[in-house]
């Protein structure tokens, strides 16, 4: 039997859940994501098509033909963690039921939302002074923007503007996810039959979210002040139904800032801005 301490056990369960959901790989121990930047500008970006976003995955479906609206959920069966307790067959059975529920939800949501995440990000990036091209070239950072829709434990659908950045290629490639949770949540019925008001609200909130992400990415790439010193990011632990819906898994992050009702922090997969209503701080003062 393998024995893990609390921190490694939480990392193991998160990796297990996210790997089955197709959101990340867990071949190596998790480390905090810091985008490698150099020079005197935020860098040159190109709209891309990251496999992590656009390839079909378990418990994930695309809600538009452009594969820029992604739906995930972990409901179904006795729960993924319960399935794992009963060995490979139990895990496979539960995983199959979760995927089936995801497919049924997606059938109702497919093609219903009219916003265009790629264009919203492009417009926001240009306003923030980022150099963004329509196609990739050597030395450019690939940016794959999308709308993230996930079902929380209370059956509410949470939404977030997200951008997957990728630099380099092969074994030297760096990738990181930047995600900004939008203020509104919805029922499945809301987004299966969205009113014009819901379409306008979601598009406006997504535009604001992509603008905030573009501003963060631009600031992240700027040279530091004359002293060259940056305030250290304080580590804390948290639970979030946006990041691990249905499972209260305590994870570690590094606090970046607070803005309005958002907590910005860095984790092993990237940078997140999560609503205070969707995160519980378990330890650490931020």
pLDDT of residue 92: 57
pLDDT of residue 140: 81
Q: What is the largest CA-CA distance in the chain?
A: 59
Band of the pLDDT at 20, cuts 50, 70, 90?
Answer: very low
Tens of pLDDT, residues 182-231: 999 999 999 999 999 999 999 999 999 999 999 999 988 765 555 555 66
Q: What are the CA-CA distances from residue 213 to residues 125, 208, 210, 216, 217 (Å)? A: 9, 9, 5, 5, 6
Q: How large is the average pLDDT for residues 233-250?
A: 88
**Domain presence at residue 230:** no
Above 70 in pLDDT, residue 180?
Answer: yes
β partners of residue 235: 254
User: How many domains does the chain divide into?
Assistant: 1
**Domain presence at residue 56:** yes
Let me know: does 233 contact 271? Beta carbons within 8 Å: no
| Burial tier of 162 (Cβ tally within 10 Å: 0-12, 13-18, 19+) | buried
Band of the pLDDT at 22, cuts 50, 70, 90?
Answer: very low
Structural domain boundaries enclosing 41: 37-220
β partners of residue 175: 166
Q: What are the CA-CA distances from residue 1 to residues 4, 52, 85 (Å)? A: 10, 32, 13
Would you mind telling me the total number of residues written for the chain in this entry? 286
**Domain presence at residue 45:** yes
SS3 131: strand
pLDDT of residue 98: 85
Tens of pLDDT, residues 140-155: 889 999 999 999 988 8
**Domain presence at residue 134:** yes
**Domain presence at residue 8:** no
pLDDT of residue 8: 47
The angle formed by the CA atoms of residues 155, 74 and 95, to the nearest 5 degrees, is 145
State how far the Cα of 36 lies from the Cα of 62, in Å rounded to an integer.
Answer: 30
Q: What are the CA-CA distances from residue 274 to residues 116, 127, 233, 264 (Å)? A: 22, 23, 17, 7
Above 70 in pLDDT, residue 6?
Answer: no
Q: How large is the average pLDDT for residues 262-278?
A: 95
Tens of pLDDT, residues 53-88: 999 888 899 999 999 999 999 877 555 555 455 555
Q: List Cβ neighbours of 245 (8 Å cut-off, separation of 6 or more).
A: 72, 73, 74, 150, 151, 152, 153, 158
**Domain presence at residue 200:** yes
**Domain presence at residue 10:** no
pLDDT of residue 245: 80
Among 6-15, 109-118, 210-219, 225-234, whose mean pLDDT is lowest? 6-15
Band of the pLDDT at 96, cuts 50, 70, 90?
Answer: confident
């Amino acid at each position: 039997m393998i024995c893990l301490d609390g921190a490694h056990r939480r990392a193991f369960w998160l990796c297990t859940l996210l790997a089955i959901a197709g959101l990340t790989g867990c071949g190596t121990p998790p480390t905090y994501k810091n985008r490698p930047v150099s020079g005197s500008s935020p860098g040159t970006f190109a709209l891309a098509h990251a496999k992590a976003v656009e390839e079909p995955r378990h418990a994930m479906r695309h809600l538009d033909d452009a594969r820029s609206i992604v739906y995930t959920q972990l409901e179904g069966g006795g729960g993924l963690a319960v399935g794992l307790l009963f060995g490979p067959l139990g895990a496979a059975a539960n995983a199959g039921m979760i995927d089936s529920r995801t497919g049924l939800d997606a059938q109702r949501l497919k093609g219903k939302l009219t916003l265009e995440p790629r264009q919203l990000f492009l417009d926001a990036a240009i306003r923030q002074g980022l150099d963004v091209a329509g196609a990739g070239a050597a030395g450019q950072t690939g940016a794959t923007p999308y709308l993230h829709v996930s079902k929380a434990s209370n059956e509410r659908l949470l939404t977030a503007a997200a951008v997957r950045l990728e630099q380099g290629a092969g074994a030297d490639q760096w990738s990181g996810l930047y995600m900004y949770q939008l203020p509104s949540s919805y029922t499945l019925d809301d987004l299966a039959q969205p009113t014009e008001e819901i379409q306008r609200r979601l598009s406006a909130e997504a535009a604001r979210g992509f603008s905030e992400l573009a501003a963060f990415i631009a600031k992240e790439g700027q040279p530091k002040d004359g002293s060259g010193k940056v305030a250290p990011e304080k580590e804390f632990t948290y639970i979030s139904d946006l990041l691990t819906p249905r499972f209260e898994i305590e994870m570690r992050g590094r606090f970046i800032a607070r803005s309005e009702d958002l907590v910005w922090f860095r984790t092993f997969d990237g940078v997140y801005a999560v609503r205070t209503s969707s995160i519980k701080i378990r330890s650490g003062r931020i």
